[in-house]
Structure 1
Amino acid sequence: MDRIAFHRLIRGESRGPAAILARSALRIASAGYGLGVGLRNARFDRGRGVERAEVPVVAIGNITAGGTGKTPMVEYVCRRFREHGLRVAILSRGYGATEGLNDEGLVLDANLPDVPHFQDPDRVALARIAVEECESQVLVLDDGFQHRRLARDLDVVLLDALDPFGLGHLLPRGLLREPIGSLRRAGVVVLSRADLVSEGERSAIRSRAERAAGPLRWAEARHAPRDLLDAEGVAEPLDRIRGVPVVAFCGLGNPEGFRRTVLGLGADLVAFRAFPDHHPYDRSDVDDLRRWAGARGASLALTTQKDSVKLRLSDLGPVPLRAVRIGLELIGGAEELEGPLGRIAELAR
């Protein structure tokens, strides 16, 4: 079953006896998964198997499978530490990479050229390398909430306002990587894409999280478009696309967030396509995208920076292709995040 069909199934969009039976089987599998997660967390809660780095560690993570905006948050946190004059390194597993950096790593490398990025499943070993070889003073652990083997001084956990609780079920019946109550381990919870839902919805999300996990340090953020980039990294202003007929596509865990971003920029979105997260574009994909963009009468094609670093194209045939570069912007509770980051910066000096 491909990713799209799987998501249709767990969201209840697939109907009929076979779909009902499949969801029942997934619910049983979720119980086994939940038992495993509980046992694993209990072991780490007792400190078993946990190793501490020589410098402070900040982990950026989530409790759901899919995109919640971790990469913009990693960039935000690294920039804050660099403003304090600290040497920072990023540690990540490197999911989806065959050689070199994966797509998120390429984006971070482009946007943070002065921050080294290490990728390997063994992030304890990476921490030693970063400290010994780069003399890093603080480490930022990307997608690290579930990677509990490396001790951290602060966990920043993101919830996506468009789907904060992964359909309310653990994997594989839903998209939760661990129970909502696990948020009690978070130092700060940040509701990403908070600008795309109402104030009432934001309040309801926080209430549900705190019913499960107790009082939480809470901040809210949006993905703020910065500019448009071509394949060479040349930037253009965002107002270029206002009122212009565009097509847009992406390979993200949450493609709806990107679609709404494009609409929010005032573009005339004539067509939109979503690929699976971490999609490895090949020649046939590019040829298909060229036909698709050309047939829609668009003046411009838009994608994400995460997709652009893999495609490395500035046009799809006669249609120019640009990436919308995104930055994280806090819109509420900024002090709830900035305070702990400041304390980590003092600790790292």
Structure 2
Amino acid sequence: MKIFLYLFYPLSWIYRFLFWWSQSRILPFHLPNVLVISVGNLTVGGTGKTPFVQYLVRYFQKKYPSYAITILSRGYKAEKTKEGAILPSGNEPQLYGDEPSQHKEMFPDVQVIIGRDRKKSFLLYNKIQSKKHIVILDDGFQHKQLYRDFDFVLLDANSPFGNGLTLPLGFLREPIGHSKRANAIVFTKLTLQHKQRLDRYKKVLIQNDVTIPIFHSSFQATVKEVLLNQNFIQEPFPLHSNLNLKYFLITGVGNPKNVYETAKSTLLSESIRTKFFPDHFEYATSSLLSLLNEIQTSEILITTEKDWIKMRKDTSFTGELVRRNIRVFLLLIQVSIEEDEEMKSMLAGLVSTYESKTGQVSGT
């Protein structure tokens, strides 16, 4: 393995040079009359951006109800990512992408816009004219084409830097030291086990001259049952009185092992079989129907909102679930910030600064 790394190590330097060269040629564009907050990664893979974006939306909707909110996303693997689009609903993930569709379903009043060219998509599809407007740039740390007022970089506490190498030999999109370009770092998916290693990770950041504020977050999960014969109404499920149930976990996310650990701790069960697919997996009818044959008698199908929003579109699959009397549970994940008051104070400061620049008066 070490010989392989030595032989191909120059590839990482070539990647870093090409990344630097492409980024250096870009002059960020200021979206007019909006406060732009970016949520992004230093690494490839899932770091919990989706629940963190939803945390921000919940905060701003509650604290600043007079503000409109837009989530601006590439719409990875969406059919309309090239031309761009504004989401009418969360019911067509194949057109608009699974994560944007999940955002739209969870927050119907939030404007969700997708497009590979996010500047063009926003200018073309934005329907909000008020200056009281917050744009959350989803997966935006490397998207230098747009100016942002604040940058969050999320680091997965399981393995924030991988092997420390950039693509193609490691998981880093750019070197660790580049995270100083952000305004704050959030360690995500924190557990008691990870806390013992955090000091080591923070030393790595300091060694790379990264001294920006650091926050810590964990997942808080709840479970709801999908009532398939009642128009997919989700009902809270009393787990405390059903500790002996068996589950079959199906998911296609960036870090499926973390979903599994979250499911174990939430369901209070060790009886969970798993089937993992690649991130943004498209569930074809054939794969869904074959999955049904893997579910054992008395097992409950459990999955994430991100997966279910794609699965449920297949009526032959949902029909078979009903026919075979297979129950479906959804794992609903929200972010909990350890330094919640400090985070909210910082976000309020961003709005206050934005209002001062634009002459606005807060509606709170």
Same fold (TM over 0.5): yes
- Structure 2 residue runs of 5 or longer lacking an equivalent are 81-94
Instruction: Quote the Cα distance in structure 2 between the aligned partners of 1:261 and 1:134.
Output: 41
Identify if the C-alpha distance between structure 1 residues 130 and 242 changes in structure 2 by more than 3 Å, giving closer, same or farther.
Answer: farther
Instruction: Quote the Cα distance in structure 1 between the aligned partners of 2:348 and 2:125.
Output: 21
Match of 1:88 in 2: 69
Match of 2:299 in 1: 299
Match of 2:282 in 1: 280
Identify if the C-alpha distance between structure 1 residues 196 and 287 changes in structure 2 by more than 3 Å, giving closer, same or farther.
Answer: farther
From 115, 118, 127, give the equivalent of 2:110: 115
Q: Is the 8 A contact 2:39 2:138 kept in 1?
A: yes
Secondary structure of the residue aligned to 2:327 is: strand
Identify if the C-alpha distance between structure 1 residues 36 and 98 changes in structure 2 by more than 3 Å, giving closer, same or farther.
Answer: same
Bigger mean CA offset, 106-115 vs 202-211: 202-211
From 131, 134, 149, give the equivalent of 1:153: 149
Secondary structure of the residue aligned to 2:279 is: coil
Match of 1:169 in 2: 165
Instruction: Quote the Cα distance in structure 2 between the aligned partners of 1:167 and 1:259.
Output: 23
Match of 1:29 in 2: 11
CA deviation after TM superposition for structure 1 residue 238, in Å = 5.5
Secondary structure of the residue aligned to 2:96 is: coil
Q: After superposition, what is the alpha-carbon deviation per residue over 1:92-144, rounded to whole angstroms, capped at 9, x for unaligned? A: 00101124321111111111111010000111123334655464611000000
Identify if the C-alpha distance between structure 1 residues 238 and 71 changes in structure 2 by more than 3 Å, giving closer, same or farther.
Answer: farther
From 52, 56, 60, give the equivalent of 1:77: 56
Match of 1:3 in 2: none
- Tell me how large the CA RMSD over aligned residues is: 2.3
Secondary structure of the residue aligned to 1:177 is: coil
What is the letter of the counterpart of residue 307 of structure 2?
D
In the alignment, is residue 63 of structure 1 matched against residue 59 of structure 2? no
Q: Is the 8 A contact 1:89 1:130 kept in 2?
A: no
Match of 1:6 in 2: none
In the alignment, is residue 206 of structure 1 matched against residue 173 of structure 2? no
Secondary structure of the residue aligned to 2:109 is: coil
Identify if the C-alpha distance between structure 1 residues 233 and 166 changes in structure 2 by more than 3 Å, giving closer, same or farther.
Answer: farther
What is the letter of the counterpart of residue 18 of structure 2?
G
Instruction: Quote the Cα distance in structure 2 between the aligned partners of 1:345 and 1:156.
Output: 15
Instruction: Quote the Cα distance in structure 2 between the aligned partners of 1:27 and 1:340.
Output: 40
CA deviation after TM superposition for structure 1 residue 180, in Å = 0.7
State how 1:207-226 maps to structure 2 within 5 Å. Answer: 207-226=203-222
TM score, norm. by length of structure 2: 0.82
Q: Is the 8 A contact 1:158 1:192 kept in 2?
A: yes
Instruction: Quote the Cα distance in structure 1 between the aligned partners of 2:124 and 2:40.
Output: 22
From 191, 199, 221, give the equivalent of 1:195: 191
Identify if the C-alpha distance between structure 1 residues 190 and 178 changes in structure 2 by more than 3 Å, giving closer, same or farther.
Answer: same
Secondary structure of the residue aligned to 2:208 is: helix
Identify if the C-alpha distance between structure 1 residues 268 and 191 changes in structure 2 by more than 3 Å, giving closer, same or farther.
Answer: same
Instruction: Quote the Cα distance in structure 2 between the aligned partners of 1:229 and 1:57.
Output: 36
CA deviation after TM superposition for structure 1 residue 40, in Å = 3.4
Would you identify which runs of 4 or more consecutive aligned residues in structure 1 move more than 4 Å?
23-26, 129-134
Residues matched between the structures, number: 324
Instruction: Quote the Cα distance in structure 1 between the aligned partners of 2:286 and 2:192.
Output: 34
Sequence identity percentage: 27
Identify if the C-alpha distance between structure 1 residues 268 and 243 changes in structure 2 by more than 3 Å, giving closer, same or farther.
Answer: farther
TM score, norm. by length of structure 1: 0.85
